C-alpha cells in the first residue's frame, strides 16, 4: 500500500537513477506497483512530491533542534545558527537529491518552486525566533523594517544552499564557515547600531527644533 514516505522514496530513487523525473504518473505508478489513484491520493504532481520532501527537511530540523535541553537558553541568533547547522547536516544524507532538485530549477529572482512549502515553514520558524529576540531587546525594532528580518534570513538560507551545492571542501567545512559568517552578519544588522543612534538623534532634533530660537542661533 502506497504512503507518503514510500512515494517519496521511490521518486528519489527514480530521479537519481535515471537523471530525470518519470515521463508520467502512470508509468511511475506502474513501476512501483501502485495505481494512479493511489499516487494522486497523496500528491498532485511530481513537483508536489519534491516540495513535500524539502518541507520535510525543514520540519525535521526544527523538531530536532527544539527538543534540545539548551534550546530555551538560546538567543535568537543562536537559534538561527542551530537551524542552519542542523539543516545542512541533515541535508548531507540527501545531497544527491538536493543537487538534482535545485539544479533543474529555472533561473529566477524568486525562490525555486520546489522550496515554496519549505519557505512557509521556515518563515513561521523565523518569525517565532525573531519575535522573541525583539521582545527581549536582543534585536532592534525598526519601523517598516522589522517585519522584513525574516526575509533576510530566508535570503541567507538561499545563499548558503547555493554555496553548499558547489562546496567541495572536506566535510563541507567551507559551508560551515559561510553559515557562521553569514548568519552573524545578518544578525549584526538586526541589532542596534550607530545608525540607529544617529536616527534617534535626528528625530530628537526634529521634535525639538524650537531650541534654535530659544538659544539665539
pLDDT at position 196 is 47
Q: Residue 111: is it exposed, middle or buried by C-beta count within 10 angstroms (0-12/13-18/19+)?
A: middle
**Could you state, in chain order, the average pLDDT of each consecutive group of 10 residues for the chain (217 residues)?**
95 96 96 96 97 98 97 97 98 97 84 95 98 94 88 96 95 96 94 56 53 47
Read out DSSP for the chain? ---HHHHHHHHHHHHHHHSS--S-HHHHHHHTT--HHHHHHH-SSHHHHHHHHHHHHHHHHHHHHHTSTTGGG--HHHHHHHHHHHHHHHHGGGHHHHHHHHHTSPP-SSPPGGGHHHHHHHHHHHHHHHHHHHHHTSS---TTTGGGHHHHHHHHHHHHHHHHHT--SGGGHHHHHHHHHHHHHHHHHHS--HHHHHHHHHHHHHHTTTHHHHHT-
Q: What is the CA radius of gyration of the chain?
A: 23
* 133 close to 141: Cβ distance less than 8 angstroms: no
Q: Measure the CA angle with vertex 77, ends 172 and 165; round to 5°.
A: 25
Give pTM, 2 decimals. 0.87
Least Cα distance to 88 among 106, 71, 65, 111 occurs for 65
Reading the block at residue 184, the C-alpha cell is 552573524
Amino acid at each position: 500500500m502506497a504512503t507518503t514516505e514510500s512515494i517519496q522514496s521511490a521518486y528519489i530513487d527514480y530521479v537519481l537513477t535515471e537523471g530525470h523525473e518519470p515521463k508520467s504518473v502512470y508509468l511511475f505508478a506502474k513501476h512501483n506497483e501502485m495505481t494512479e489513484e493511489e499516487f494522486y491520493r497523496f500528491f498532485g504532481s511530481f513537483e508536489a512530491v519534491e516540495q513535500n520532501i524539502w518541507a520535510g527537511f525543514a520540519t525535521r530540523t526544527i523538531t530536532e533542534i527544539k527538543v534540545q535541553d539548551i534550546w530555551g537558553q538560546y538567543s535568537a541568533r543562536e537559534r538561527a545558527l542551530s537551524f542552519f547547522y542542523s539543516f545542512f547536516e541533515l541535508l548531507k544524507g540527501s545531497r544527491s537529491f538536493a543537487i538534482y532538485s535545485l539544479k533543474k530549477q529555472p533561473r529566477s529572482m524568486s525562490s525555486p518552486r520546489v522550496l515554496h512549502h519549505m519557505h512557509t515553514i521556515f518563515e513561521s520558524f523565523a518569525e517565532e525566533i525573531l519575535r522573541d529576540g525583539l521582545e527581549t531587546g536582543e534585536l532592534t525594532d525598526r519601523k517598516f523594517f522589522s517585519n522584513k528580518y525574516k526575509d533576510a534570513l530566508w535570503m541567507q538560507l538561499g545563499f548558503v544552499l547555493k554555496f553548499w551545492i558547489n562546496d567541495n571542501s572536506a566535510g563541507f567545512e567551507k559551508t560551515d564557515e559561510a553559515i557562521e559568517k553569514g548568519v552573524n552578519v545578518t544578525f549584526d544588522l538586526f541589532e542596534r547600531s550607530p545608525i540607529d543612534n544617529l536616527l534617534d538623534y535626528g528625530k530628537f532634533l526634529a521634535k525639538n527644533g524650537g531650541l534654535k530660537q530659544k538659544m539665539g542661533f
